[in-house]
Each structure stands twice: as C-alpha cells, then as structure tokens.
Chain A
Amino acid sequence: MTDATDLSELPAGPTVQGKLSRDDIMMRGGMLVIALYLVITLAFPLYAMLSKSFSTYRFELAQYEFQMSDEDGVFDGTILNGAELNEQTGAFDELDLSAGSDGRIGVTGFFPEFSFRSPVMYQIRNTSDTGRFLVGSKLEDGTDWVTLDSNTFRRVQLRPMESTGFGNFINYFSTPALFNSIKNSLWIAVVSTIVTVTLAFWFAYALNRSCMRYKGVFRLIAMAPILVPSLLPGIALVYLFGNQGMIKELLFGASIYGPIGIVIGSVFFTFPHAFIIISTALAVSDARLYEAAASLRATRWRTFWTVTIPGARYGLISAAFVVFNLVITDFGLPKVIGGQFNVLAVDIYKQVIGQQNFEMGAVVSVVLVIPAIFAFAIDRLVQSKQVALLSARSVPYQPQPDKRTDTFSFIYCAFVGLFIIGILAVCQFAALIKFWPYDLSLSLNNYQFDRMDGGGWGSYFNSIKLGLLTAVFGTAIVFFGAYLVEKTNGFKTGRALFQMFAMLPMAIPGMVLGLAYIFFFNNPSNPLNAIYGTMAILVICSVTHFYTVSHLTAVTALKQMDREFESVSASLKQPTLKLFSRVTVPVCLPSILDISIYLFVNAMTTVSAVVFLYSPKTSLASIAVLNMDDAGDIAPAAAMGMMIFYTNAAARIIHLLVSKGVLTRTQAWRTR
C-alpha cells in the first residue's frame, strides 16, 4: 500500500487533544471578541433590516367591536363588528388598511351620524388579546368594553397588527414609481461602468506603456477624486451645466439633472478606483510576450488584442464590477444631481427620511443588496484568478520612446487630467464667488458655515474627529483581527467564519448598512441603544463599512511574513504578544499606515453610511455638503466639499511624510 486514503488503518481510541497554551487561548479569545464585534455591528443589524422588510402592518378591523347608545346614553346591546361597519360605510378601502408600524386610523368614519357634541355614548373593545387601540395616548389592549362619550370617542385610534410576509415586496413591485428605479440604477451603473473603464484603461495604458512626460503628475491627478465626497462632482456639474450654468449651451438643451449628470459625476468619482486596478494589471505584464510577438512580426494592433488585452482582462473585469458596485450603491451624487431620475439608493433615503416608511426602506435595501452582492462575488472570483497570473516569473515590460505614441498619450492624459482638475477647480471657484452669476467678486462669505444649515464648522471638526477615531480604532481592530485569523493555530472553522464576516462589509452598500443600524441600534430594547446618536455609532459604522479593504491589506502584509516566526517564538517560550509588538507590527508598519489613511479619507468623504445615523451634535462635513446643497446653499456646499478635499490632501501628505520618517527609522533593515 502506498497512497493512504483509508482512515480505517488508524487504530481505535481517542485522538490526541492538544493542550492549549496561554497564547492559544488568548488568540482564540481575541478572535472571538473581534468576530463578536463584526456580528454585532454587521450580522445583527442586517438581520434586523431583513426581518423589517418582511414585517407588514395591517389594520384588522374584525378585531374590534363597538356599541352605540341612544341619546340618553342607554346601550341596547347590539354589537357592531368593525369589519362589517367598514363594509356598510366604506370608510376605508383596502389600501388604507395596510400601514406602516406607526400607522393609526380613527373610527368615527364608521358612524356617519357621529358628532362630537352629541350625547350618544360609545363602547369599544378588542375581540382578542392581540388587538390594540389608543384612546388619546392611552393604549388599550384588553377585551373589556371601554365606554366613552362622543368627544372622547373621536380620539380613539386603531393600531395596526404586525405580521410577516411578502406584503412589502408585493407592494414595492406593484408601484411603478418604485421599481422603475431598479431599471434606472442598472442603466446608469452600466453606462458609467463602460465609460469609466474605457477612460481608465487608456489612461493606465498611456502611463504604463508610453514614455510621455509628467507621468507622476498625472498619476497624482488621477487619484484626486478619491479625496472628495461623491456628491462634489454633482455640485460642479450644477455650476457648469445647471440652469444658470457657465457652459450649459454645450448640452444643447439637455438637462444635467438626471442620468447625464449622474453618469458624468460617477465617471469622476469612480475613475481612480478603476485606474488603480487596471494599472496594476497592466504593470505585471510580461515583456517576453511582447518580444515573442515582435519576433513573430505581429502588428501593433494584433499584439494589442492578443497580448495586452488578455493580460489585463482580469483587471478590466474586476475594475468593471468595482465601478458598477460603486455607482449602483452611491447615494450622494444622484441626490444632488439626479433631479426626478430615481435610483435605488436615493429611494431608500426618500422612503426613510421623507416618508418615514422604514419597512419600504428596508425592502429597497434588500433589492439594492442583490446586484451589489452579485458584483462583489464576481469581483472576488476574478481577483483570485489575477493572483494566480501574478506568480509567473515575468520580466517587466519597458516601454520604448515613440514620438507619436508619446504625444498622443500626453494629449489624452491631459484631457482626462483637465476633466478631473476642472471639476475640482469649478468647485473651488464656486466657493469663492460671492453670488453666482450676479456678483462675481471674490469673497470668503461662503466659508461662514455657521450661518448656514448643516451644522457649521462644528460638522467639519466632527468629520476630522470621526476620521481620526475611525483610523485609530479601525486600524487597531482590523490589523489585530487579521493577525489573529492568519496566525492562530488550528481552529479552522472559526477562522473560515471570521474570514467570511470580514469580506461581507464590501458587499453591503453604505445606505443599507446605515438603515440596518437604525433598525438594530435604535431599538429601545437593545442594550446598545445608548450609542445611537453619538459619535461612537458613526465610528463603528465607518469601521465596519470599510472593513473589507483594510482587512485584505492587512492579510496581504501578514502573508508576506515568514510563517515560522510564531513557531520560533513559541520554541523560545516567548509570548506571542511580544512577537506581535516587537516584530509583526514594526515590519507591517507601512501597511498599517496605509490602512489608517484609507480609513481616514473614507470616513471624511462618506455620506451614505452615516446619513441615517448622525445627530445634530454629530453632524459631519460630508453631510453638511448634502444638506446645504439641499437647502439651496450650493456655494457653501462646494466650499465645504473643497475643505474635505484639502483636509484629505493634507492627510495624505502627512501620511507620506510620516511613512517616510518611520520607514527610515524603523525599517533600516530593509536596506542592505
């Protein structure tokens, strides 16, 4: 017998159960704590949201019985059922009877001759224990008769009954105004994806495959949109093409408020994401393939389609799905420039904030999660293939100077760069103009945020506080979690579960997460209710929302560490925590700094994740942009948006300097 696949050879008896060392226990404990954190801040809220989307409320009129006295207040004993009364009087039709959780209806409509001045007395009761109605603000849920005079009877309100079912979904799909948004969302996401990926591909191609000048500058410009909230390009577009736009003639009468605006803005804010992914894919291409193509005398066109595109295809697919996901889940941009063009993310906002219909908000959220999870799943699949491609021992491609290519590349990149810089410049310009288009003198009036709606300068400082707290706590939680999941011995199931939880946030749109937080944390019976409306919930929400990318960064860095460090440390009888602080953290410091700047920048710019969760005390700069724009203070909104840009740019520069400083001090070992 050579190959052993037969476990029956194993002798009977118990298997050796390892005794856990103190470190093992600590690490497993730590992992459980962080897993618990993810369960509480992600799984539970999502579950609360899901169950909300399936809970329907309906007035069950048959559950109520009434009696009416004569003018002298004497009841003759006739019992009237609510359902029958409604049939006779037609007071409420079917639609009126399905309601939200807060729904209530009066009952005087059942009695056409009702007058609150009449001496007639009324009696009302529930036929079962589950029935509920209000007299004024007093809840009656017993089955005893309640006797009321006319004046009090008009203050009786019935409360709806909760049940579980597809009612909300049926309701959603039978309302064209709502489900049309699905089509709209998919449409703009697809168009934006095609445009962005095409633009970003040629941009990345020009930077990787030509010898043009100022590559570094273009790279910087391409990354700039990451530093601003997604709704900022919307404001710039309003200034450019809006009703009083600077160059609205260029649209030839078409309106920027709608799909055109959303697509242009989406291209702006998703461009860097697509650019990074495609650029990475192009950078790993193998020069030997190009040499082979040249030696076979393939034309440039043929080489492009047989070497370049196949090499970058995973990058292209991955970029496409990332952009698709970003656009379909974005809320800020369509809110600012969408006009009457409804998309899913804005629908959630309208249902929840505008109509207080939380159940319907939950339904739209569930609808939105489906394409988001789908796009996410495909992206993960493609990314895993890209890694396999990378492992080849390839020779990096070195572009050769070619005057025509270089000039053409430069012109193209200049156009794209101009678009990005232009959008930012328009915002800055708008912020400094006194009153567009009537008074074009420069002033800083628009920076007096304290005079506007939206929380003033306080919200700006709140944002910085949120950014810093998210960066500090987020980095600590994410890195420690990633360390534990990577380096804990055994415990396979637990680690697999943890990995899954860590990947989940990426698939959950910010709006959905925010709404789920309302359902979960705003529930009075939740002991964590206290953090609702505080900075803490904003930090938790931001950390969870941006968990996945940070986690992956940390895992990548940790995977590059020698697997045997932990073994060596254990053999030397040193606590793992010492190894973690003395070796792991210092070696991974560059990645740790990357994670913290990523969290900071995203916490500064996010709107969707926090729009449901801020309170007057914890208003944020990005929210202020939204609210000032909503209130018509577009110039101050632009000014605040640019404040976010400058802050993030400064943070980036500080990050760069700190990284450099830290690197030279602690990473001396990297140089030979």
Chain B
Amino acid sequence: MIQETAIGQKTYLSIDKLWKAFGPFLALKDISLDISDGEFVCFLGPSGCGKTTLLRAIAGLDLQTKGTVMQDGRDVSNLPPSERDFGIVFQSYALFPNLTIEKNIAFGLENTGRSKSEIAVRVSELLELVGLPDQGAKYPAQLSGGQQQRIALARAIATNPGLLLLDEPLSALDAKVRVHLRHEIKELQRKLGVTTVMVTHDQEEALAMADRIVVMNHGVIEQVGSPTEIYREPANLFVADFIGEMNQIDSIVAEGGRLSVGEKTFACHDHKFSDGTAVVAAIRPEDIIPHEHGYTADDPNRNCIEVLLHEMEFLGSFWRCRLHNERFGGSELIADFSINAVRRLDLGVGRKMIIELPIDRLMAFDRPEAS
C-alpha cells in the first residue's frame, strides 16, 4: 500500500488510527501520520504529550492498543522490535559499559553472516563517519557525553536500518555540545538518506533539524508541517504558544473580520471566525515593527498604535521590550527589537512610540475554555 505523498516521494512509514491506553489513561488518540522515504521528522511537544509513546509504538517497544503501523509496505503493527527494521538512540546513550567502543558498534554486526574482518572494516568506517576514528579501544565511560552519543548513533546505523529512531538524543548534553551535535546528526542523516524520527521537547532543536515537525499535545497531533509553516502559520493557539514566543490578547471579532481589542480594531490575517466570536489575537514579539516619527496611530492601512515603552531587557542579540497602552485593554505587548532599531530610534524606558502590528502577522485563534 505505497502511496505518493504531496512532494512526490514514496511513503516509507505509515501510521493509521493509532490509539494507546495505559490503564484508564489514553496516551495516544487516533494518530495518523505518513512519513516519506528519507525524511527527517521531529515529534515535538511538552512532556507527557505522547511523543515518546508514539516512537516506542513505531519501534514495537510498547505496542499500541489499536491501529496499524506500516513500514516500507509491510504491516509491522504487532511485530516485536527484533522483527522490525530500525536503529535506535536513547537519551541515556545505553552504551554497554563493559564493552569497548569497537565492540559496542560491532554488537549488532555479529551473527549476521559478516566475517570478522568485514566487521572490523565496517566499525572503523563508522568511527570515521561519526568523527571519532581513534577512540575504538576505549570504554564508554572514558568518553564525553557528546562522544558517547555519537557512538550510540554509530551503533544504531551500523546495520544500515531503514529507519532511525532518536529518543531525545541530545537532552542529556551541554548546550554548546547540543548545538554542535544536532548539526552533525542532521548532516549524517542527509548523507545516509535514512528515514529518521526524532523525539524532542526542544523546539529550537526541532526547528533546526526537521524536514517536518509533528507537534503533539495530550495524545493528539496538533499540527504537522515544515518548520517555517509551524512557526509562521501555527494551526492553533497551543502550537503558536509552544513554539517561539507569542503575544496573546483577548479580543472579539468585529465587523469585516477585524479584531477588536479595547477601543481599537485591527486588520488581521485571514481567519475562519464569524463576527462577534471571542478569540485570542496573537503576534510574535519579533514581528512587531517599531516606527519612527511620522507614522500615526490612526493610519487606516496599517495596524499602528502608540505605546509606552516601560521596560527593556537586554538579551544579547536583541532587546525585549514591554509595551503598554491604556487603550489596549490593559494588556501588555512584548516586542523584540533589534539592537540596530533601538539605536536608530534611540529607544529608552519611558519613551512613547508608534509600533505596527503587520496585518499578515496578526493572527486569530480559538479562545481556550476558561480555566
């Protein structure tokens, strides 16, 4: 049952109506997802959202309660892990502590009909590939965390599996190492062309590495899309809030689909809501444009308002500013202004200024049920 996906690639992994119950708790609810051959997909979500459960169901480590998993045209729904085709890397690395690096990598190559010399060649090839050619004789405990994770990766891809599963592989590492290694993993995946599924709770990691991101929450898929889609066109408030920063202002849909906040109405991005609906207006801090003198708050073609800059926080590459306007229903806006803009406009605490909320960047979402 091989389908063609939108980009014209073959579907390699197909998940259909997957459910998972732990006792009375539903960890996965009706999950359906197709992953293309060679694609790098990230499952992203807060802890407890079901992303690891889904990964373990794909691996056969924890079987789903209902639903099917097809891999490369084969129904693997009820197969044990040993009869599926995947390599896996865990957060804990799970390297065998009493075996040398070489023996760790060779572990899966044994009993596969390869001769000793073939195995040795393959092991040194893999060590070369992950950039640790001289470490073969050491024990895992003698390597740094980042090095250990590379070995775990080498071990997982040693047998050329069709699917590579990464379960929070970078979470146990230092920030610097993490950034470096995520680049390397991505590079390696591209080189090998192996279909890869990674679980992470780190949005930055997902945005940087994935071809497609699957955002999950409470056991359901909230949105599937490319990193830019997910970031720029979040499907709902959860996705908008979980990935990146997002200003959220309660508002009502006014005439013509405009959003009314306090005394003002704003034009916004297309939405599905009818007039009078209570919604949340949302805009990312970096999408707010600071304006020089000359712009007025009454410009009908632009969403401009006058605000008071009442707090500034220096975050290295930009300033995070808190903006206030009484006419704005008492809510506060957070805006990230570049260092250049701050210098050019000579911004400082206490300044009154005009900002613009670009029409195509202002979004409307369902208001969450009152809690």
Binding between chains A and B: yes
Are B66 and A669 closer than 8 Å at their CB atoms? Answer: no
Q: Select from chain A the residue with minimum beta-carbon distance to B81.
A: A570
User: B82's contact among A4, A5, A570, by CB below 8 Å, is which?
Assistant: A570
Are A16 and B77 closer than 8 Å at their CB atoms? Answer: yes
In chain A, positions 199-227 with a C-beta closer than 8 Å to chain B are none
Whether A574 touches B21, Cβ cut-off 8 Å, given contacts A7-B26, A20-B80, A583-B99, is: no
- How many angstroms between the C-alpha atoms of A670 and B139 in the bound complex? 9
B329 at interface, CB cutoff 8 A:
no
A398 at interface, CB cutoff 8 A:
no
User: Which residues on A sit within 8 Å (CB–CB) of B83?
Assistant: 19, 21
Are A4 and B17 closer than 8 Å at their CB atoms? Answer: no
In chain A, positions 1-36 with a C-beta closer than 8 Å to chain B are 2-7, 9-11, 13, 15-24
Most buried by B among A15, A568, A667: A568
User: Which residues on A sit within 8 Å (CB–CB) of B290?
Assistant: none
- How many angstroms between the C-alpha atoms of A286 and B25 in the bound complex? 38
- How many angstroms between the C-alpha atoms of A669 and B61 in the bound complex? 29
A138 at interface, CB cutoff 8 A:
no
Of the listed stretches B1-9, B84-92, B186-194, name the one at the interface; the rest are far from the partner chain. Answer: B84-92
Whether A2 touches B218, Cβ cut-off 8 Å, given contacts A15-B65, A570-B81, is: yes
User: B61's contact among A7, A9, A15, A567, by CB below 8 Å, is which?
Assistant: A567
- How many angstroms between the C-alpha atoms of A668 and B138 in the bound complex? 10
Q: Select from chain B the residue with minimum beta-carbon distance to A562.
A: B94
Most buried by B among A4, A9, A24: A4
Are B96 and A583 closer than 8 Å at their CB atoms? Answer: yes
User: Which residues on B sit within 8 Å (CB–CB) of A586?
Assistant: 98
Are A11 and B17 closer than 8 Å at their CB atoms? Answer: yes
Whether A573 touches B82, Cβ cut-off 8 Å, given contacts A565-B96, A568-B88, is: yes
B285 at interface, CB cutoff 8 A:
no
Within the complex, the shortest CB–CB distance from B31 to chain A, in Å, comes to 12
Are B81 and A4 closer than 8 Å at their CB atoms? Answer: no
In chain B, positions 7-61 with a C-beta closer than 8 Å to chain A are 17, 19, 21, 24-27, 29-30, 59-61
Of the listed stretches B104-112, B245-253, B353-361, name the one at the interface; the rest are far from the partner chain. Answer: B104-112
B73 at interface, CB cutoff 8 A:
no
- How many angstroms between the C-alpha atoms of A629 and B133 in the bound complex? 70
Are A11 and B139 closer than 8 Å at their CB atoms? Answer: no
User: Which residues on A sit within 8 Å (CB–CB) of B110?
Assistant: 574, 578
Are B24 and A666 closer than 8 Å at their CB atoms? Answer: no
Are A572 and B139 closer than 8 Å at their CB atoms? Answer: no
- How many angstroms between the C-alpha atoms of A467 and B345 in the bound complex? 87
Q: Select from chain A the residue with minimum beta-carbon distance to B369.
A: A2
Are A587 and B24 closer than 8 Å at their CB atoms? Answer: no
A664 at interface, CB cutoff 8 A:
no
Are A571 and B107 closer than 8 Å at their CB atoms? Answer: no
A582 at interface, CB cutoff 8 A:
yes
Within the complex, the shortest CB–CB distance from B221 to chain A, in Å, comes to 14
Q: Select from chain B the residue with minimum beta-carbon distance to A571.
A: B88
Whether A18 touches B63, Cβ cut-off 8 Å, given contacts A23-B82, A572-B155, A672-B142, is: yes
Are B81 and A571 closer than 8 Å at their CB atoms? Answer: yes
Are A10 and B98 closer than 8 Å at their CB atoms? Answer: no
A356 at interface, CB cutoff 8 A:
no
User: Which residues on A sit within 8 Å (CB–CB) of B29?
Assistant: 4, 9
Are B78 and A582 closer than 8 Å at their CB atoms? Answer: no
Are A568 and B94 closer than 8 Å at their CB atoms? Answer: yes
Are A16 and B63 closer than 8 Å at their CB atoms? Answer: yes
Are B92 and A583 closer than 8 Å at their CB atoms? Answer: no
B147 at interface, CB cutoff 8 A:
no
- How many angstroms between the C-alpha atoms of A23 and B65 in the bound complex? 22
A72 at interface, CB cutoff 8 A:
no
User: Which residues on A sit within 8 Å (CB–CB) of B161?
Assistant: 571
Are B98 and A666 closer than 8 Å at their CB atoms? Answer: yes
Are A574 and B97 closer than 8 Å at their CB atoms? Answer: no
- How many angstroms between the C-alpha atoms of A567 and B108 in the bound complex? 12
Q: What 0/1 pattern do residues 656 to 672 of A give for CB contact below 8 A with B?
A: 00000000001111111
Are A19 and B26 closer than 8 Å at their CB atoms? Answer: no
Are A672 and B141 closer than 8 Å at their CB atoms? Answer: yes
B64 at interface, CB cutoff 8 A:
yes
Are B78 and A19 closer than 8 Å at their CB atoms? Answer: yes
Are B25 and A564 closer than 8 Å at their CB atoms? Answer: no
Within the complex, the shortest CB–CB distance from A29 to chain B, in Å, comes to 15
User: Which residues on A sit within 8 Å (CB–CB) of B111?
Assistant: 574-575, 578
A569 at interface, CB cutoff 8 A:
yes
- How many angstroms between the C-alpha atoms of A19 and B82 in the bound complex? 11
Within the complex, the shortest CB–CB distance from B82 to chain A, in Å, comes to 5
Within the complex, the shortest CB–CB distance from A585 to chain B, in Å, comes to 10
Q: What 0/1 pattern do residues 630 to 672 of A give for CB contact below 8 A with B?
A: 0000000000000000000000000000000000001111111
User: Which residues on B sit within 8 Å (CB–CB) of A573?
Assistant: 82, 108, 112, 159
Whether A571 touches B64, Cβ cut-off 8 Å, given contacts A24-B80, A669-B140, A672-B141, is: no
Within the complex, the shortest CB–CB distance from A594 to chain B, in Å, comes to 18
Within the complex, the shortest CB–CB distance from A183 to chain B, in Å, comes to 48
User: Which residues on B sit within 8 Å (CB–CB) of A587?
Assistant: 97-98
Are A18 and B78 closer than 8 Å at their CB atoms? Answer: yes
Whether A13 touches B98, Cβ cut-off 8 Å, given contacts A571-B87, A672-B141, is: no
B219 at interface, CB cutoff 8 A:
yes
Q: Select from chain A the residue with minimum beta-carbon distance to B217.
A: A2
- How many angstroms between the C-alpha atoms of A21 and B82 in the bound complex? 7
Q: Select from chain B the residue with minimum beta-carbon distance to A589.
A: B98
Whether A565 touches B140, Cβ cut-off 8 Å, given contacts A7-B21, A10-B26, is: no
Q: Select from chain A the residue with minimum beta-carbon distance to B111.
A: A574
Are A670 and B26 closer than 8 Å at their CB atoms? Answer: no
In chain A, positions 554-571 with a C-beta closer than 8 Å to chain B are 562, 564-565, 567-571
User: Which residues on A sit within 8 Å (CB–CB) of B21?
Assistant: 7, 10
Are B78 and A5 closer than 8 Å at their CB atoms? Answer: no
In chain B, positions 289-334 with a C-beta closer than 8 Å to chain A are none
User: Which residues on A sit within 8 Å (CB–CB) of B159?
Assistant: 572-573
Are B88 and A567 closer than 8 Å at their CB atoms? Answer: yes
Q: What 0/1 pattern do residues 152 to 170 of B give for CB contact below 8 A with A?
A: 0001101101000100000
- How many angstroms between the C-alpha atoms of A13 and B161 in the bound complex? 33
- How many angstroms between the C-alpha atoms of A24 and B61 in the bound complex? 12
User: Which residues on B sit within 8 Å (CB–CB) of A574?
Assistant: 107-108, 110-111
Q: What 0/1 pattern do residues 567 to 601 of A give for CB contact below 8 A with B?
A: 11111111100100011001100000000000000
User: Which residues on A sit within 8 Å (CB–CB) of B172?
Assistant: none
B132 at interface, CB cutoff 8 A:
no
Within the complex, the shortest CB–CB distance from A495 to chain B, in Å, comes to 16
User: Which residues on A sit within 8 Å (CB–CB) of B165?
Assistant: 571
Are A562 and B82 closer than 8 Å at their CB atoms? Answer: no
Within the complex, the shortest CB–CB distance from A224 to chain B, in Å, comes to 34
B79 at interface, CB cutoff 8 A:
yes
User: Which residues on B sit within 8 Å (CB–CB) of A572?
Assistant: 87, 107-108, 155, 158-159
Within the complex, the shortest CB–CB distance from A70 to chain B, in Å, comes to 84
Most buried by A among B26, B77, B156, B159: B26
- How many angstroms between the C-alpha atoms of A305 and B96 in the bound complex? 46
- How many angstroms between the C-alpha atoms of A2 and B78 in the bound complex? 28
- How many angstroms between the C-alpha atoms of A16 and B16 in the bound complex? 13
- How many angstroms between the C-alpha atoms of A11 and B32 in the bound complex? 14
Whether A567 touches B80, Cβ cut-off 8 Å, given contacts A572-B155, A669-B139, is: no
Q: Select from chain B the residue with minimum beta-carbon distance to A3.
A: B218
B145 at interface, CB cutoff 8 A:
no
Within the complex, the shortest CB–CB distance from A572 to chain B, in Å, comes to 3
Q: Select from chain B the residue with minimum beta-carbon distance to A572.
A: B108
8 A-B pairs with the lowest CB-CB distances in the bound complex, closest first: A572-B108, A21-B80, A4-B26, A669-B139, A570-B81, A564-B94, A18-B63, A570-B82
Would you give 20 A-B contacts (Cβ < 8 Å), ordered by A? A10-B66, A11-B30, A11-B66, A16-B66, A16-B77, A19-B78, A21-B81, A562-B92, A567-B81, A567-B88, A569-B107, A570-B61, A571-B165, A573-B82, A574-B111, A582-B99, A587-B97, A669-B97, A669-B142, A672-B141
Which residues of A line the B interface, CB within 8 A?
A: 2-7, 9-11, 13, 15-24, 562, 564-565, 567-575, 578, 582-583, 586-587, 666-672
Besides A568-B88, A570-B82, 6 new A-B residue pairs in contact (Cβ under 8 A), listed by A number: A21-B82, A571-B86, A571-B165, A575-B111, A578-B110, A582-B107
